[in-house]
Amino acid sequence: MAKHLLPKFRIAIAGAGAIGLYYGGKLAHFGRDVHFLLRRDYEVVGKRGLRIRSKSENIQVAKVNAWRSTEEIGPCDLVLVAVKTTSNQDLPSLIAPLLGEKTILLTLQNGLGNEEFLAQHFGAERVAGGLCYICLSRVDPGVVQRFDHGRLTIGEFQSYPRPRLHDIAWEFKRCGVVCSVVADLALERWRKLVWNIPFNGLTITAGSLDTSAILANDPLRQLALELMEETIAIANACGHPLPTAVALDLLKRTESMGAYRPSSLIDHLARRPLEIEAIWGEPLRRARAAGIEAPRLEELYGKLVTLDQAPRR
């Protein structure tokens, strides 16, 4: 496939938040044929283009292939699914016009259950998943701020990595994205949840604090560690072996991130729906199915559901 990942290899970005804009922008900057589904920001990005800012790079994509609908984009070879999981119900109608005979669906969404959802509607053989270990924020329409270098990890949904996945990873690397292929995608999803469950949640329930404030508060730091340990226990019970040392390693990495505001906190402050079911609800349901008690996760889930519903009441 690698020899075909050139201008004729069509890539669609379904979801133009920070993740979709960043990875799509990197590919477009290096000359790949990338098409963005842009509804809310269509006019602005059409005029100003797309920009990625950080301490080490300043990328400007002046001419963006922006479209208001996936019908206008048409069939593509690769679809990066970057919509919030709260919009998953829209994916069947959004993705259908993008499908060709061998279209690959690579979901970059948070949490659990997204590959299963896509497989249910479009077939498991099309589906792969990616985990974005990166700190990004969409600061303006078409403008993404990157706070650290980060990396992208991709894997097949229901098989060992096929050549197609290595080709996609190589193409990301050629476009300046650190990307690796993993044999066990589900294990890596749980590894990321060890961080996402405590820090995406506690930054909200503790009163809109950033990660450095969580770590500076001894009771909150301890609670974050306990949530990490619960998540590791659930992963192991579900057949995804994670060592307990993962928690301490992630705490150290969080200390180096500074005053970071996770995406869930940003959504909460903007009064957008939270990705509660994918990040907290589904892991909790799997804990119950495996007979594992997770009292801290259950309490956190309940608080988040209450907070998420309050503005709409």
Residues annotated as part of the active site: 192
The three-point CA angle 151-129-7 to 5° equals: 75
3-state SS record for 31-61: CCEEEEECCCCHHHHHHHCEEEECCCCEEEE
The three-point CA angle 287-288-290 to 5° equals: 65
Q: Are 65 and 36 in contact (CB under 8 A)?
A: yes
The token pair that represents 298 in the structure block: 């259950």
Place of tokens 């001419």: 63
**Any bridge partners for residue 28, and if so which?**
none
| % helix, strand, coil for the chain, step of 5 | 50, 15, 35
The token pair that represents 302 in the structure block: 């309940």
Q: Name the CA radius of gyration of the chain, rounded.
A: 19
